[in-house]
C-alpha cells in the first residue's frame, strides 16, 4: 500500500513544535538553574550572617570552653548551630543549638576530626534523601583556643520550590507545545487556503481554456505574487499554443498548396492522351512543385531542430568578406536570368567567430530574398541592382543586402522575421514567393551568433537587410 505523504501543514506544525520544544527546553533549563543559583545564594547569605553574629558573640568572652547560662541563652537565638573547640588536638563539641538535631546527620558531622583543619566555606552533604548545606568558619578565642563555627541547614526550604518549579515546567512545556502545534496547523491551513484554491482552479484550466486567469487576491502578498506568476505562465503558454496552432495551420497550408498543384497537374495530364511536349510540361510543373515541397519540408525540419537545440554549431574564424563574394558569385546566373545586377563591396580581412555553414546559409537566404523581390528589368531601363556589402564598425562586422524592390511598410518590418509571415502579395514579384521561412531561419542564425538583424528602408524604394555580428 502506498504511503500517503505528510501534508505541508502537518510538516510545518511539526517543525514549529520541534523548534518550540527546543526553545522551551533550553529556556526552562536556564530558568531553573538561575532560580536555583539565586535561592542557594540567598540561603548561603543567611548562613554566613548567622556565623558572623555567633562569632561576634564569642568575641566578647575570654574563653568559650565553658559557656555560662547567659551565653548559652544568647546563642540559643541562633538555630542549627554547632561549636567546636580543640581539646588535646581533637575537636570537641562545646555547644549545640537545641534544634540542630532536626538536621540529618548532624551528629556524624560533628564527630569528624578534620573539621578544625578545613578552610572556611560552604559544603553540601547528602544524608539519605536529604541535602544539608553547611557553612564553616574557624575562630580563635582571646585565650588562644581554636574552634570552628558551623551553621547547617536542610535544603528542604530550597528544594521544595525548585521541585515545584521543575514540575511546573514539565507540565507547562507539553501543553505549550501541543497548543503551538494546533495554532500553527490552524494558521498554516488559513495561510495556505489561497494556495489550495489556486491549485483547484489551475486543475480546471485545460489546453482549450488557456484564456482563463486566476483571480488576484485582495492582498498583494506572496500568494498574490504566486497567482500573478501563474497567470503570466498561462499567458506564455497561451501565446505559445496560439503560435503553434498558427504554425501548424500555416505549414499545412504551405504543404497543401503544392500538393494540390501536383495532384491537379497529374489529373489534367491523365484525363486524355497528350503529346510528348504536354507531358514534359506537366512533369516539369510537378518537378517544380516537388522542389518547392522539398524546400518547405527542409526549412520546417531545420526550424524544428533549431527549437529543440539539436542543430550542431561550431565556432571558428570565418572570413565574412570571402564568404560574401562566394555567395554573390553563386547567384550570378540566376541574377543574370532575371535581368538583375549583383554587386559586392567587402572590406578585406573582416573576420567573425561563428559557424561557417550557418553564416553561408544566412547570406544565401538574404541574397535569394533580395533577388526574388527585386523588380524585373524593363526595356530601355537600367537593370535593378542587388548590392551586398561587408564593412567594419568598431568591434562589429556589418553585413548588408540592398534591393530595389517595393520595400516593406514600417509597421511590418519587425514581423518579416516571423515564421510564415509574408508581406502583401501585391508587393511580391512572380509566383515563387517562398513559404515565409527564409527570414525566420536568418533570425535564428543571427541569434545563435549573438548578433542582430533588422529590415531597413522606405516603402516603395527598396529594402536593406542589415546584420551585425561581433568581430573575432
Higher pLDDT, 307 or 1: 307
- Pair type for strands 385-393 and 341-346: parallel
DSSP-derived 3-state class of residue 349: coil
Q: In the structure, what pLDDT confidence band is assigned to residue 87 with cuts at 50, 70 and 90? A: low
Mean pLDDT of the chain: 78
Q: What is the pLDDT of residue 328?
A: 94
How far apart CA 435 and CA 247 sit, in angstroms, is 12
How far apart CA 108 and CA 103 sit, in angstroms, is 11
What average pLDDT score do residues 72-78 get? Answer: 75
What single-letter DSSP state applies at residue 6?
A: P
Map out the domains of the chain with their CATH numbers.
8-163 (3.30.450.20), 222-305 (1.10.287.130), 313-470 (3.30.565.10)
- DSSP for 254-305 reads HHHHHHHHHHHHHHHHHSS---HHHHHHHHHHHHHHHHHHHHHHHHHHHHHH
pLDDT tens digits, 141-182: 777 777 778 887 777 767 778 788 888 878 877 887 787 778
Higher pLDDT, 129 or 121: 121
Higher pLDDT, 111 or 160: 160
Does the structure show a pLDDT above 50 at 425? no
- Cell 524544428, residue located: 304
pLDDT above 70 coverage of the chain, percent: 80
DSSP-derived 3-state class of residue 68: coil
Residue 147 Cα to chain centre, angstroms: 76
Check: CB of residue 266 under 8 Å from CB of residue 286.
yes
Q: What is the pLDDT of residue 392?
A: 95
Lowest mean pLDDT among 168-172, 194-198, 231-235, 343-347: 194-198
DSSP-derived 3-state class of residue 127: strand
Lowest mean pLDDT among 24-28, 244-248, 297-301, 327-331: 244-248
Lowest mean pLDDT among 6-15, 38-47, 132-141, 254-263: 6-15
How far apart CA 150 and CA 134 sit, in angstroms, is 7
Backbone angles phi, psi at 436, to 5 degrees: 80, 30
**In 331-437, where does DSSP find H-type helix?**
332-337, 356-373
Does the structure show a pLDDT above 50 at 116? no
Grid coordinates representing 110? 560533628
- Cell 506544525, residue located: 13
- The number of CA neighbours under 13 Å toward the Cβ of 294 is 6
- Cell 507545545, residue located: 177
Sheet order of strands, 121-127 included: 90-96, 81-87, 146-154, 130-140, 121-127
What average pLDDT score do residues 281-301 get? Answer: 82
Higher pLDDT, 264 or 382: 264
Give the pTM: 0.50
What single-letter DSSP state applies at residue 471?
A: B
How far apart CA 385 and CA 381 sit, in angstroms, is 12
How far apart CA 99 and CA 311 sit, in angstroms, is 102
How far apart CA 397 and CA 321 sit, in angstroms, is 10
Does the structure show a pLDDT above 50 at 125? yes
Higher pLDDT, 295 or 413: 413
How far apart CA 85 and CA 74 sit, in angstroms, is 19
Grid coordinates representing 307? 527549437
Q: In the structure, what pLDDT confidence band is assigned to residue 431 with cuts at 50, 70 and 90? A: very low
Check: CB of residue 133 under 8 Å from CB of residue 44.
yes
Does the structure show a pLDDT above 90 at 347? yes
Does the structure show a pLDDT above 50 at 190? yes
Does the structure show a pLDDT above 70 at 127? no
Higher pLDDT, 65 or 80: 80
Does the structure show a pLDDT above 80 at 113? no
Higher pLDDT, 241 or 471: 471
Check: CB of residue 230 under 8 Å from CB of residue 202.
yes
Q: What is the pLDDT of residue 297?
A: 82
Q: What is the pLDDT of residue 469?
A: 95
DSSP-derived 3-state class of residue 330: helix
Higher pLDDT, 127 or 259: 259
Higher pLDDT, 391 or 304: 391
Grid coordinates representing 141? 578565642
Q: What is the pLDDT of residue 179?
A: 79
Amino acid at each position: 500500500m502506498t504511503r500517503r505523504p505528510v501534508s505541508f501543514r502537518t510538516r510545518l506544525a511539526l517543525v514549529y513544535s520541534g523548534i518550540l520544544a527546543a526553545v522551551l527546553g533550553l529556556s526552562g533549563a536556564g530558568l531553573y538553574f538561575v532560580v536555583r543559583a539565586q535561592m542557594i545564594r540567598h540561603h548561603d547569605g543567611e548562613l554566613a550572617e548567622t556565623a558572623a553574629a555567633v562569632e561576634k558573640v564569642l568575641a566578647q568572652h575570654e574563653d568559650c570552653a565553658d559557656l555560662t547560662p547567659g551565653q548559652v541563652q544568647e546563642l540559643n537565638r541562633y538555630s542549627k548551630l554547632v561549636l567546636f573547640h580543640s581539646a588535646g588536638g581533637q575537636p570537641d563539641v562545646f555547644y549545640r543549638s537545641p534544634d540542630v538535631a532536626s538536621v540529618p546527620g548532624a551528629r556524624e558531622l560533628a564527630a569528624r576530626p578534620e573539621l578544625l583543619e578545613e578552610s572556611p566555606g560552604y559544603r553540601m552533604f547528602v544524608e539519605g534523601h536529604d541535602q544539608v548545606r553547611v557553612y564553616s568558619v574557624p575562630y580563635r578565642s582571646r585565650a588562644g583556643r581554636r574552634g570552628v563555627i558551623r551553621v547547617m541547614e536542610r535544603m528542604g526550604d530550597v528544594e521544595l520550590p525548585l521541585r515545584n518549579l521543575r514540575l511546573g515546567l514539565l507540565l507547562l512545556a507539553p501543553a505549550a507545545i501541543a497548543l503551538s502545534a494546533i495554532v500553527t496547523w490552524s494558521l498554516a491551513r488559513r495561510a495556505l487556503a489561497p494556495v489550495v484554491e489556486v491549485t483547484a482552479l489551475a486543475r480546471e484550466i485545460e489546453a482549450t481554456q488557456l484564456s482563463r486567469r486566476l483571480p488576484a487576491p485582495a492582498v498583494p502578498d506572496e500568494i498574490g505574487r504566486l497567482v500573478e506568476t501563474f497567470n503570466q505562465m498561462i499567458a506564455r503558454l497561451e501565446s505559445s499554443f496560439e503560435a503553434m496552432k498558427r504554425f501548424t495551420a500555416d505549414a499545412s497550408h504551405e504543404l497543401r498548396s503544392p500538393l494540390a498543384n501536383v495532384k491537379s497537374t497529374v489529373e489534367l495530364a491523365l484525363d486524355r492522351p497528350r503529346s510528348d511536349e504536354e507531358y514534359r510540361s506537366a512533369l516539369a510543373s510537378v518537378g517544380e512543385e516537388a522542389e518547392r515541397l522539398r524546400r518547405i519540408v527542409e526549412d520546417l525540419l531545420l526550424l524544428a531542430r533549431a527549437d529543440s537545440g539539436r542543430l550542431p554549431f561550431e565556432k571558428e574564424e570565418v572570413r565574412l568578406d570571402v564568404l560574401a563574394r562566394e555567395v554573390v558569385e553563386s547567384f550570378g546566373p540566376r541574377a543574370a536570368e532575371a535581368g538583375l545586377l549583383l554587386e559586392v563591396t567587402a572590406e578585406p580581412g573582416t573576420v567573425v567567430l561563428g559557424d561557417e555553414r550557418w553564416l553561408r546559409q544566412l547570406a544565401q537566404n538574404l541574397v535569394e530574398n533580395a533577388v526574388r523581390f527585386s523588380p524585373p528589368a524593363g526595356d530601355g531601363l537600367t537593370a535593378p541592382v542587388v548590392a551586398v556589402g561587408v564593412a567594419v564598425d568598431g568591434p562589429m562586422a556589418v553585413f548588408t543586402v540592398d534591393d530595389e524592390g517595393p520595400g516593406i511598410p514600417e509597421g511590418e518590418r519587425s514581423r518579416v522575421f516571423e515564421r510564415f509571415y509574408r508581406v502583401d502579395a501585391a508587393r511580391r514579384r512572380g509566383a515563387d514567393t517562398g513559404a515565409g521561412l527564409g527570414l525566420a531561419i536568418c533570425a535564428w542564425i543571427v541569434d545563435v551568433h549573438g548578433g542582430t538583424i533588422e529590415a531597413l528602408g522606405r516603402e516603395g524604394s527598396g529594402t536593406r537587410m542589415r546584420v551585425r555580428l561581433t568581430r573575432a
